Amino acid sequence: MIITISGAAGSGKSTIAQRLSEELSWPRYYIGGIRREMAKKRGMTLADYNKLGETDFSTDKELDDYQKNLGLKEDNFIIEGRTSWYFIPHSLKIYLDVSLEEGAKRIFLSLQKSNERNEGNDLKDLEAVKKSVIERSNSDKLRYQKYYNIDVNDVKHYDFYLDTSKFNQEEVFTSVFNFVKSRLSRPNRNVLPRAK
C-alpha cells in the first residue's frame, strides 16, 4: 500500500506523515521539502519559486515525474505532497484540513523554533504568515489548475478527510492511524468512508 497525504498549510501533514512512517517502518517522501531545497539551490524562497512555477512548468514537472515513478516502482511508503494523490492514483489518499487562522498560528510557532522552511525572512508576525499561506495556496491552485486541470483541495479526491483545527497532534494521529490500520487489513478498499 502507498499512502499519500495532502492538505492545507499547517494542518499537520508533516508530523502525521513522519509518525506513520515510524509506526509502520515505511519510508517517507516529503515533496514540499524537496521543493524547498530546489528553490534554495536557485537562491530563491519557496514563495519566489512557486511564483516562477506559474509560468515555468519545469519547476513542477520534475517533481511530478519523480512522484509518478515512485508510484510505479515502489510499494509500502508514505508520500506527502499536494499532488501526490493525483500522480499515484492507486494510493490510499488522506487529506488534512485546518482553518487559516489555526494553520498560520501553527506555522508561526514552528518558525519561532527554527526557520528551515525556506519561506522567506519576512514572516515576523502572525499576519505575515497568514498572508504567506494565502499567497502560497493561490499559487498552488493556479499552477495545478493550469497544468493538470485539478483542484487539490476538492475532498472528493480523497479516501479520508479530517479537519484538524480543533484536535491536538495525538488525536489527529490516532484518527489517521486507525483509518490506515482498517485499510491494511482489507484486501478490497473500493468503498471508503470519510472521517467527520
**Which domain, by its residues, includes 155?**
2-184
pLDDT tier, 110 (very low <50, low <70, confident <90, very high otherwise): confident
Q: Is residue 60 part of a domain?
A: yes
Residue 192 has pLDDT above 80, yes or no: no
Instruction: Please check the confidence at residue 137 and state whether its pLDDT lies above 60.
Output: yes
Question: Residue 55 belongs to a domain with what CATH number?
Answer: 3.40.50.300
Residue 154 lies in a domain: yes
Number of structural domains found in the chain: 1
Determine, yes or no, domain membership for 191.
no
Does residue 143 sit within a domain?
Answer: yes
Does residue 77 belong to any structural domain of this protein?
yes
pLDDT band for position 194 (cuts 50, 70, 90)? very low
Question: How does residue 185 score in pLDDT terms, banded at 50, 70 and 90?
Answer: confident
Kindly state the average pLDDT of the residues 118-143.
84
Query: Considering the domain boundaries, does residue 194 fall inside one?
Result: no
The pLDDT of residue 144 is above 90? yes
On whether residue 140 sits in a domain, the answer given is yes
pLDDT surpassing 50 at residue 74: yes
pLDDT of 90 strictly over 70: yes
Mapping DSSP onto H, E and C, the string for the chain reads: CEEEEEECCCCCHHHHHHHHHHHHCCCEEEHHHHHHHHHHHCCCCHHHHHHHHCCCCHHHHHHHHHHHHHHHHCCCEEEECCCHHHHCCCCEEEEEECCHHHHHHHHHHHHHHCCCCCCCCCCCCHHHHHHHHHHHHHHHHHHHHHHHCCCCCCHHHCCEEEECCCCCHHHHHHHHHHHHHHHHCCCCCCCCCCCC
Predicted confidence at residue 124, as pLDDT, reads: 78
Flag whether 193 is in a domain. Answer: no
